[in-house]
Structures are given as C-alpha cells and as structure tokens.
Amino acid sequence: MKGLTSLIFLMIITFNSLCSQVNKGDSPFYEQMRILPFQQREELIVREVLSGDIPEYMRGFVEIRFKSTDAFGEGHKVTIFVKPDYITIGQDKSSFIIPMSPAAAQKIADSLNCSLPTPKLVDIIYSHSKLKVEPFNFIPRGDRNETPDILYDHSRVIFAQIKASGCNPGVFIAGSKKDIVITTALEDSLRRRHNVTIYGWHRLDGTPIQPVHNKHLVTYVDYSHGVRLVSNKILIDGKEYDYRDILKDNVYHVLLSNEEKPFKITSYSY
C-alpha cells in the first residue's frame, strides 16, 4: 500500500511539473490536429512525418543485437535496427509523441522502408532499451482517452519522465506506450482491414500490462498507443535479409516471432 501511495504521489508531481513547463500552444501540430475529424487527422499525421517534421533524433536507428534459435533449434546472431522512440512530430518543445491508426502507421512504415514490430521484438526492444519508464495511465471516462488533449498530455508526461531520469529526448526509451504490432492474424483479411493489434506497455519488472489484443477497431486510437518503426534491413549471422521475408520463412520466422507458424501477411491494409 505504501508503494502504491508513493507511485500515485510521483504521478501527480510528474503531471503537475509537465503542465507548468509546456503549454499546448507550443505545438503548432497539436493546434492543427485537435480540430480535425479522425480521417483528416490521420492524413495530417502521415504528411507531417513524411515531410520531415520530426525531431533530429528520430532520423536514425538504434542497433540491437541478440541471439535466437530457428525452427530446427539452431542458434543465430540477429541484428535489428529500430527507432529510439515512438513516432514523434515536431521539434524541441513542440515535439508530440503521436498515437495513430494502423493504416497511418503502415503508410509511414512503407514509405520509410520499415515495418511494425512483432510482440517478440517489443519484448526484445524493451530489454535492450537504455531508459525504462513506469507506464502512466489516465482513468477512463467515456471517450476522454481518445481526445487530442489527452493524447498530447500523455506525450508531455513521457517527456517529463525522460527529464526526471536525467536523460534527454532521443534516449532509447521503452515502457511508455503500447505498440501497434503485427501478428499472423493479419492473414485474416477482415481483421487486417478492421482491427488493430496492440501489445506491451511494460512495467518496470518487465511484465507487459497489455497482452496481445486485437479486438479494437482500426479507428480506435487512445493515448497509450505508439508506433515504433523497425527497419526492413536486418542481419542474421552477419548476412543482410529483409525483415518481411524472414517472417514468412518456415525456418527463420521464429527468430523474430513467438508464433509457431510463419507469416503470410506482414502489414496492415490502407
């Protein structure tokens, strides 16, 4: 009980601190998107990211190396390249870690020769991250958690957590959002078009708050959702492969996925 009280107190202090540091008016993108209907907001997100309105630290990738075994039990050395944070729009004080639909996420990923992670990779990314933060959640009240205000406020909470840790934006961070992920459920054309799969939001002990879940419609976007891009270029034992091809391979797919069968489809529809 004492630990819970301390955590609640920390959350209150963090939220009050961030509100005193940043006004919503500091983000021109927020002022634009907050008045738009859903589809136009999604289109704006894609345009802003692809036009280059992102922090400098989001232009590069972080290299992660790990060992994994294939379907025959043979060990391999795998290297993947991921963004240090979830997709963020704007610069400096205007930066906004922006939730979006899987369709918008997929458009951005395809344009940048990237893909979305599998649940297995979300776990690996978390374990290798430099900064792990305690998930910060808002109490559900109707559809409040889907509103632009809450989306933006959660972004500011994360930046406040980064500052409180002594790090700077751009640090390789995890635990701050649930990931939009890809699974073999994408081979179901109805699910691919109509449902989003989310996973993650790890506690500091490494356990995810959100198990793999694909019941939400693609138009459901709340503050806790994030998009982490994974480069389609990966290395296995020093040789370059395409992430998507490996997920479809009968032997190698388990290097990147916890699922027994290989993928047939590795992307959402848009």
Whole-Å CA distances, 179 to 64, 97, 163, 258: 17, 13, 22, 16
| Mean of the per-residue pLDDT values of the chain | 92
Average pLDDT over residues 119-123: 99
Q: Which of 17-31, 51-65, 144-158, 196-210 has the lowest mean pLDDT?
A: 17-31
Amino acid residing at 107: K
Task: Tell me, yes or no, whether 263 lies in a domain.
Answer: no
Whole-Å CA distances, 269 to 65, 66, 101, 128: 30, 30, 11, 30
Residue 92: what are its φ and ψ, rounded to 5°?
Answer: 50, -125
What confidence tier does 254 reach under pLDDT thresholds 50, 70, 90?
Answer: very high
Residue 48 and residue 106: Cα distance in Å, rounded? 15
Residue 230 and residue 129: Cα distance in Å, rounded? 14
The pLDDT of residue 25 is 60
Task: Tell the residue number behind the tokens 């933060």, with chain if given.
Answer: 133
The pLDDT of residue 141 is 86
The pLDDT of residue 14 is 47
Task: Tell me, yes or no, whether 106 lies in a domain.
Answer: yes
Task: Tell me, yes or no, whether 143 lies in a domain.
Answer: yes
The pLDDT of residue 245 is 99
Condensed to tens digits (0 to 9), the pLDDT of residues 61-113 reads 999 999 999 999 999 999 999 999 999 999 988 899 999 999 999 999 999 99
Report whether pLDDT(156) > 90.
yes
Task: Tell me, yes or no, whether 266 lies in a domain.
Answer: no
The pLDDT of residue 4 is 42
Residue 246 and residue 236: Cα distance in Å, rounded? 10
% residues pLDDT > 90 (the chain): 84
Two structure tokens written together for 239: 């040789």
Maximum Cα–Cα distance across the chain: 56
What confidence tier does 23 reach under pLDDT thresholds 50, 70, 90?
Answer: low
Higher model confidence: residue 251 or residue 23? 251
Two structure tokens written together for 231: 């480069």
Task: Tell me, yes or no, whether 186 lies in a domain.
Answer: yes
Number of structural domains in the chain = 1
Any bridge partners for residue 65, and if so which? Answer: 79
**DSSP-derived 3-state class of residue 115:** strand
Task: Tell me, yes or no, whether 267 lies in a domain.
Answer: no
Q: Is the full-model pTM beyond 0.85?
A: yes
Residue 147: what are its φ and ψ, rounded to 5°?
Answer: -80, 150
What confidence tier does 26 reach under pLDDT thresholds 50, 70, 90?
Answer: confident
Q: With beta carbons less than 8 A apart as the criterion, state whether 126 and 175 touch.
A: yes
**DSSP-derived 3-state class of residue 199:** strand
Two structure tokens written together for 78: 């795998």
Report whether pLDDT(17) > 80.
no
Q: Angle 38-50/102-111 helices, nearest 10 degrees? A: 20
Where are the extended beta strands (E) located within 123-193? 131-132, 173-174, 178-180
Task: Tell me, yes or no, whether 184 lies in a domain.
Answer: yes
User: Could you say which DSSP state residue 116 is in?
Assistant: P
Residue 122 and residue 120: Cα distance in Å, rounded? 5
Task: Tell me, yes or no, whether 154 lies in a domain.
Answer: yes
Give the domain range for residue 218: 2-255
